[in-house]
Structure 1
């Protein structure tokens, strides 16, 4: 390299330093000052990562005083350049020496970088082009938000999520039975709303015991980082803001936190987009005396546009409270309880009509007449004719269309979704295995001594019988070794069971963390059984590792031993053996324990094992659950009602001396009441509601589309290539997993979302569901978007020069490949990406200006090219500048024509999607009062905003590559 004092150079590695000036040349070193930042850099003269800045006739340059000059002539005197041309401010001829150039000059435009000699490697150019295409496909994909979460492709969940997540400010009640995934449905909806820009601020209200579960579920499954708020957090936040709720976008807190008037007021003033309330059946209401909790939620529901209420038992506190929850969603629609009851009674006729259509048979005269009356605003004559005399395929289509019209126009189907196990497939059943054992004399002695010492009150006596190992440990003292497991027959039985079932994963749940820890010690020391422990004293990371160790098929733990917290929030449906070392006192906790395995996705019958001590409260409690509630072999949605009605009697019976007659009477009474609840629930099932909630054929279509998207190997190839270019180390971990590690050689200082210690990722949904320590990579994952942004928001890959070896073309033939980007910038809530996301437009010109892009694909062309060293590439660019300037201008004209075409296509698509949606909602509004005016207004406003922003769409050059033909 030839240097002279005063020459202007730019740093190849740090182009943001601006224009540098050579200030010293000493021996083999050269010093460059970058006035824009005040930095000095010293380089070896022979291989300095610098590029000389040389402008050419036709360029416009800026002086350090701010005036511009259009270059006509370039003079080189003793290694320093002078530019002669016409000033932009005065119109007069002038000369500008390179030493007087503006220090702030940045070569951000691809053509400026190319002419300045900032030429990128060929793989960078290719990756930039592929990144633009990937981003375009991601934003256009209507199912991206549904594909992204770490969740199984469960039809009814996906249908509800797709139906509700696309709405403006959705206000619905999610009331699926236990185990059907209300939390997943709510997470899907939140994910869609946040990803689409329809929502930015979300408040989730949950019982205090479920805060951690929600926090983990939202992060692990949906990559949504919520913040937990309690009183302490609110006080700390006051240092940053007068209103603590304004310090975070996504907040989880308990309803108890808002019982303070000051906190309620702050929450009301925080301007949320979505409110989520879990366990909504606890919101008690009567017209004269609504509960404090109900009043708090009512105030928030009035202030927040979108509301999701979750409950597995919508009628738990009575039908009036169920009406009250609907009233929270739409007080104008559900204004009077008596009117609501009358309206419900009319649904039976609609359900009967739906049943007739679902039978896929010709209809009777009475059924046809009923349908005509119910759908009087529509002309259904052709559908009825088809049903009566068409072939099976045509009849199915006609029946499906009329069922959909019925669901659209009648019932509470737009505001209430409820699926039941009887209406959803995918459950394998349960089987109870009882293992009676004699009471060890050590436990009997401990109980007797405890009673003699005055510790024998009724409640304590019950705890001693249910959890005798805890009493025995108290007698041994804090410093004693836990010897109880050496004689407890439940432990011995469990050891033998595990040895006999070495190949099976077994979940063990016990009430106390100390018991779980000691059971693990017993297994390890007595039999060498590989076990993992999971309890409330562990951090989130430790729990993740324990669960992952259990899920690992090769070399993983055979057993996971959980304290009661293990029955909350985690799902282990890859296992089907459950041992209940003891029993909880609440049937809801019992259902939670079983529900960790008995879920959609379980492939085998769940085997429930209950070892118990004969003649103790353990046996009596087991019989009450089993014979009174059928709680082991079936789900028991009325368990909380039965516990509320008979729980005190059962506790009194368990705490006293065993009274067989009283126990038998209690079991009979519980069973009778359980049967009444079941019959009432069955009789009150809203067939219309269930038809609408599981989605039918529409749900199956969604699942098929997402399964196909999961099999997209092009996406995997793209991500591996992207990480290669960025400089992320990739280690194949096996088990469909890759370990990503940042390196010192990365193109960028950091990669948002990639921790310093790295992370494990998988592209396989099944692997992600069984290994919670792996991140599930789909196009919706933040790590994908941040990686694409690193490339596309920088200059990386915006220039390249390559050789084309082709005997059929004359040597020296030149092609210019240009990638333009069509963009319409708009706020997130406008959702411009649905219609016109940033769209790459490729133009491939020969030296005569003919566009070959339509006939020569990027991939096929790229495979014929070979890289060129930078020094030679810079010379070729300099020699071809005049031609390149002309071709770039022609390319811009062609891209502008493409812009017009793309905007017109986007307008048509917007009219088709939003116009169709608006027409449908307006038609439904005339017959279904559940359509809110705000929904219609939101669609109309979106039409207006999209149209306005499309009109302001622009096109700019994003990258370009010069190709020169060379002989083979």
Structure 2
């Protein structure tokens, strides 16, 4: 190196110091002042990590006074360079000594860094290109959002998520039966809406008991960080904003919180894109007196564009309340209950035709007539698979509630184990017999309902005589408790869920297990805080050292999933068939690996046995689901009360009539709207195709290789843990100060879905995981890998042959909701120019070419660049011409793709709107607006050089 006072150099190791000036040369040392930061640095002359800054003809340089000149000539005297040229602002000829260059000069452009000798390691250049390529592939992949969550590839869930998640402001009722995964479906939809930019702010309303479960599920499965709002959090948030609901983008709170007028008004005033309401069957409605909860949700649904309602029992409060929930989604469409009922009956005749198409059997004359009436303009081509598929798709598209209501039943979904009833008769304790006799003598039976309660829950009656002040002693002699203790001792290694109607009973049963046999049991009831409930559930789930038993009050039959257990004890029975199904559904759900054993201890000859027999023999509700149980209960409920109260002893007749009605109801559902709705909701072949495509994505080993390479280049320590897992730990030698999402104490990750599903402590890495996007962003938003020099050994080429590889990025910036990335994501264009300016990039792929190259140190690379400058500047100018043509071609392709996808969807929905009122005008307007926005932003697409590499052929 030849140094002279006043020369301008930059530090290879601290380029952020700006342009340095040599201020002293003493012996073997040289000192530089960096005026931009006021820093001094002293280096050994022999191996100083410095690069001389000399600009070339055609470059634009800036003076310390702020004006700029375009260089036309360079002169050198006493080791200092003087630049001659014209000022860019006045066009007058000027000169500028290098000592007067702008101190703040940064070499951000790849070509500037190349000529300034700011060269990167070859592997960094390669990683940068692979990151740009991976980001482009991720944004083009329509399955990315579906692949990302930690969830099994369940066909009907993926179909619903894909169908609804791509809509503008979706408004649907998710009404799958218990155990089919409504929460996962909702999470999938939220994940897609947020990832695509269709939504940014989400409000989830749930019963208070389910708040924390939703919080954990959204984070653990979908990497969505919601904030949990209660009264205390609202008060704290007032320090930051007048409206606490505007302090977070993603919020979970209980409906009870919004019963308060002030909190309701604040939630209503806040801007939201999506509203999610879980356990929506609790929204009671009548035309004259809707419940407060219904009014709260109704007001929010009017103000928020997207609404998801979740319920496993849409008809629990009656069909009219079911209609009222549909009315929340689209009041213009569902305006009259009688009209709604009439419309439903029309689909019964079509359901058989739909089943025939699915089964690929010939249509009967009646079915063909029904199809022709439903699809008058459609040719009924049923001879080919394509024709049947097209007909079925048209039929389901036009199904009345098909776009707003999705309901799958266990009968239509595979993956469930068997349910077995184990009835355990026990004798009536003498203490209970005495309590009942005394109560009758005192005339305390009261109403019919009270008599039933006394007969079903004799322990409660006994406690009334004991007095509230005394400690409960019923569990010391209750024969059901005795049976349960013997059962649990025989099943020491088994997890057992116990459900009872009352919280007090759950607490007393826990005391009985602990006091009498030392059995560890968790308790779960409505009097506990959310944190206490979560601890109890976790204690039960823990395999080593956890509780053998979890005792829940009725609240435990909603929302919690315990499919790792296979034994369910119903200490008593609920009087509502839907509650019975919800209890069983805690174990009987997708993911259950063994048959579910349902145990019911009952006092022989009592009302408990009568209720058991009615459920089992009349409804078959223990071993089969009974979706119409609430309707049958409404019809026979009074007769059942008479039997349970002991005022009508003809139970056999009641069971016979109930069984007949249950059979009729099941047949009606199979033949009518619910069957057609189920066909629409499970997705059929489309759902299977989605699963197959996602399984293929999961097997992409190229993605795994890319991530391991990326983490290696960034400097993340990777330790193979076995079990398909890797432990990632940040190091002091990383390229960047921190890695967003990677904690200081490290993280265990897996690329295997099955491993992720069985190990909650592993992060599931897919292209949608935040660690992937943050890793790519760190590289592509920095200068890492922008400029490099490599050598090539090739006998067929003469030594000294030059190639210039240039990576351009085509990008059009637009708001997230435009979803421009679907059509033109940031797209890398690779050029490989020979010395004549011919582009070889189309014929020589990156990987093949890169394997022929070898790295070179920075100083040698800088010398090669300086020696080649006269050839490189014309090549860069030539590249601009090549890339301009490719930009126009990419924009045209993107516009063509947008027209095909969005235009096709618009045409389909416009045609459907004529026959299906569920197609909202707002949805059509949103697609038209999106098409206009995409076209406008495509017209402003730009291309920019992202990375450059000089390749020089070296002698063998």
What range is the shorter-chain TM-score in?
0.7 to 0.9
Structure 1 residue 476 displacement after superposition: 14
- Map of 1:122-161 to 2, 5 A cutoff? 122-161=122-161
Aligned partner of residue 880 in structure 1, secondary structure: helix
**Given the superposition, is the C-alpha separation of residues 32 and 278 from structure 1 closer, same or farther in structure 2, using an over 3 Å criterion?**
farther
Structure 1 residue 397 displacement after superposition: 2.4
- Mean CA deviation greater in 249-258 or 643-652: 643-652
State whether residues 520 and 532 of structure 1, in contact with CA within 8 Å, keep that contact through their aligned partners in structure 2. no
Match of 1:95 in 2: 95
Aligned partner of residue 803 in structure 2, secondary structure: strand
| Distance in 2 between residues matched to 1:545 and 1:878, nearest whole Å | 66
Structure 1 residue 275 displacement after superposition: 1.1
Unpaired runs of at least 5, structure 2? none
Match of 2:407 in 1: 418
| Distance in 2 between residues matched to 1:53 and 1:517, nearest whole Å | 80
| Distance in 2 between residues matched to 1:636 and 1:770, nearest whole Å | 31
Match of 1:855 in 2: 843
Match of 1:307 in 2: 307
**Given the superposition, is the C-alpha separation of residues 584 and 434 from structure 1 closer, same or farther in structure 2, using an over 3 Å criterion?**
closer
Match of 1:54 in 2: 54
Match of 1:727 in 2: 715
**Given the superposition, is the C-alpha separation of residues 162 and 342 from structure 1 closer, same or farther in structure 2, using an over 3 Å criterion?**
same
Structure 1 residue 358 displacement after superposition: 3.6
State whether residues 804 and 951 of structure 2, in contact with CA within 8 Å, keep that contact through their aligned partners in structure 1. yes
**Given the superposition, is the C-alpha separation of residues 753 and 44 from structure 1 closer, same or farther in structure 2, using an over 3 Å criterion?**
farther
State whether residues 516 and 533 of structure 1, in contact with CA within 8 Å, keep that contact through their aligned partners in structure 2. no
Match of 1:635 in 2: 625
Structure 1 residue 287 displacement after superposition: 2.0
**Given the superposition, is the C-alpha separation of residues 416 and 216 from structure 1 closer, same or farther in structure 2, using an over 3 Å criterion?**
same
- Map of 1:626-665 to 2, 5 A cutoff? 630-637=620-627
Match of 1:502 in 2: none
- Map of 1:249-648 to 2, 5 A cutoff? 249-378=249-378, 380=379, 383-384=380-381, 387=382, 390=383, 394=384, 396-433=385-422, 490=484, 493-498=487-492, 506=495, 508=497, 550=543, 561-562=549-550, 564=552, 571=561, 573=563, 575=564, 577-578=566-567, 580=569, 591-592=581-582, 594-608=584-598, 630-637=620-627
**Given the superposition, is the C-alpha separation of residues 353 and 624 from structure 1 closer, same or farther in structure 2, using an over 3 Å criterion?**
closer
| Distance in 2 between residues matched to 1:9 and 1:647, nearest whole Å | 91
**Given the superposition, is the C-alpha separation of residues 462 and 285 from structure 1 closer, same or farther in structure 2, using an over 3 Å criterion?**
closer
**Given the superposition, is the C-alpha separation of residues 362 and 461 from structure 1 closer, same or farther in structure 2, using an over 3 Å criterion?**
closer
Structure 1 residue 125 displacement after superposition: 1.0
Q: Which one of the candidate residues 791, 794, 799 is aligned to 1:811?
A: 799
| Distance in 1 between residues matched to 2:925 and 2:166, nearest whole Å | 15
State whether residues 428 and 605 of structure 1, in contact with CA within 8 Å, keep that contact through their aligned partners in structure 2. yes
Match of 2:877 in 1: 889
| Distance in 1 between residues matched to 2:5 and 2:482, nearest whole Å | 89
Q: If the length of structure 1 is used for normalisation, what is the TM-score?
A: 0.85
Q: Deviations over 1:313-341 (max 9, x none)?
A: 11122222111111111111111222222
- Map of 1:141-220 to 2, 5 A cutoff? 141-220=141-220
- Mean CA deviation greater in 52-61 or 884-893: 52-61
| Distance in 1 between residues matched to 2:893 and 2:310, nearest whole Å | 40
| Distance in 2 between residues matched to 1:704 and 1:859, nearest whole Å | 29
| Distance in 2 between residues matched to 1:476 and 1:46, nearest whole Å | 93
| Distance in 1 between residues matched to 2:77 and 2:873, nearest whole Å | 26
Match of 1:776 in 2: 764
| Distance in 1 between residues matched to 2:81 and 2:508, nearest whole Å | 83
**Given the superposition, is the C-alpha separation of residues 962 and 287 from structure 1 closer, same or farther in structure 2, using an over 3 Å criterion?**
same
Q: Which one of the candidate residues 905, 908, 920 is aligned to 2:896?
A: 908
**Given the superposition, is the C-alpha separation of residues 363 and 918 from structure 1 closer, same or farther in structure 2, using an over 3 Å criterion?**
same
Structure 1 residue 585 displacement after superposition: 6.1
| Distance in 2 between residues matched to 1:893 and 1:737, nearest whole Å | 48
| Distance in 1 between residues matched to 2:369 and 2:514, nearest whole Å | 72
Structure 1 residue 369 displacement after superposition: 3.6
**Given the superposition, is the C-alpha separation of residues 680 and 400 from structure 1 closer, same or farther in structure 2, using an over 3 Å criterion?**
same
Structure 1 residue 88 displacement after superposition: 1.9
| Distance in 1 between residues matched to 2:272 and 2:497, nearest whole Å | 41
- Mean CA deviation greater in 827-836 or 741-750: 741-750
| Distance in 1 between residues matched to 2:508 and 2:764, nearest whole Å | 34
Structure 1 residue 399 displacement after superposition: 2.0
Structure 1 residue 940 displacement after superposition: 0.8
Structure 1 residue 362 displacement after superposition: 3.3
| Distance in 2 between residues matched to 1:111 and 1:151, nearest whole Å | 46
Q: Which one of the candidate residues 781, 794, 800 is aligned to 2:788?
A: 800
- Mean CA deviation greater in 35-44 or 154-163: 35-44
Number of residues paired by the alignment?
921
**Given the superposition, is the C-alpha separation of residues 326 and 362 from structure 1 closer, same or farther in structure 2, using an over 3 Å criterion?**
same
Aligned partner of residue 289 in structure 2, secondary structure: coil
Structure 1 residue 949 displacement after superposition: 0.8
State whether residues 178 and 637 of structure 1, in contact with CA within 8 Å, keep that contact through their aligned partners in structure 2. no
Match of 1:927 in 2: 915
Structure 1 residue 36 displacement after superposition: 3.4
**Given the superposition, is the C-alpha separation of residues 691 and 638 from structure 1 closer, same or farther in structure 2, using an over 3 Å criterion?**
closer
Q: Deviations over 1:294-325 (max 9, x none)?
A: 22211111111111111111112222211111
| Distance in 1 between residues matched to 2:558 and 2:176, nearest whole Å | 18
Match of 2:938 in 1: 950
- Mean CA deviation greater in 563-572 or 786-795: 563-572
Unpaired runs of at least 5, structure 1? 500-504, 551-555
| Distance in 2 between residues matched to 1:821 and 1:836, nearest whole Å | 11
- Mean CA deviation greater in 661-670 or 155-164: 661-670
| Distance in 2 between residues matched to 1:546 and 1:937, nearest whole Å | 51
Match of 1:716 in 2: 704
Structure 1 residue 104 displacement after superposition: 2.2
State whether residues 506 and 558 of structure 1, in contact with CA within 8 Å, keep that contact through their aligned partners in structure 2. no
Q: CA RMSD in A?
A: 4.2
State whether residues 534 and 546 of structure 1, in contact with CA within 8 Å, keep that contact through their aligned partners in structure 2. no
- Mean CA deviation greater in 881-890 or 42-51: 42-51
Match of 1:221 in 2: 221
Structure 1 residue 198 displacement after superposition: 0.8
- Mean CA deviation greater in 319-328 or 22-31: 22-31
Q: Deviations over 1:838-859 (max 9, x none)?
A: 1111111111212111111111
Structure 1 residue 75 displacement after superposition: 4.3
Q: Deviations over 1:239-283 (max 9, x none)?
A: 111111111111111112222233222222212111111122222
**Given the superposition, is the C-alpha separation of residues 338 and 743 from structure 1 closer, same or farther in structure 2, using an over 3 Å criterion?**
same
| Distance in 2 between residues matched to 1:649 and 1:817, nearest whole Å | 85
| Distance in 1 between residues matched to 2:570 and 2:33, nearest whole Å | 74
State whether residues 632 and 662 of structure 2, in contact with CA within 8 Å, keep that contact through their aligned partners in structure 1. no
Aligned partner of residue 347 in structure 2, secondary structure: helix
Q: If the length of structure 2 is used for normalisation, what is the TM-score?
A: 0.86
Aligned partner of residue 131 in structure 1, secondary structure: helix
**Given the superposition, is the C-alpha separation of residues 634 and 61 from structure 1 closer, same or farther in structure 2, using an over 3 Å criterion?**
same
Q: Deviations over 1:780-807 (max 9, x none)?
A: 1111111111111111111111111112
State whether residues 548 and 773 of structure 1, in contact with CA within 8 Å, keep that contact through their aligned partners in structure 2. no
- Mean CA deviation greater in 903-912 or 18-27: 18-27
- Mean CA deviation greater in 689-698 or 28-37: 28-37
Structure 1 residue 711 displacement after superposition: 0.8
Aligned partner of residue 790 in structure 1, secondary structure: helix
Match of 1:898 in 2: 886
State whether residues 642 and 648 of structure 2, in contact with CA within 8 Å, keep that contact through their aligned partners in structure 1. no
| Distance in 1 between residues matched to 2:339 and 2:653, nearest whole Å | 38
Match of 1:553 in 2: none
State whether residues 756 and 762 of structure 2, in contact with CA within 8 Å, keep that contact through their aligned partners in structure 1. yes
| Distance in 1 between residues matched to 2:50 and 2:454, nearest whole Å | 81
The answer to whether 1:846 aligns with 2:837 is no
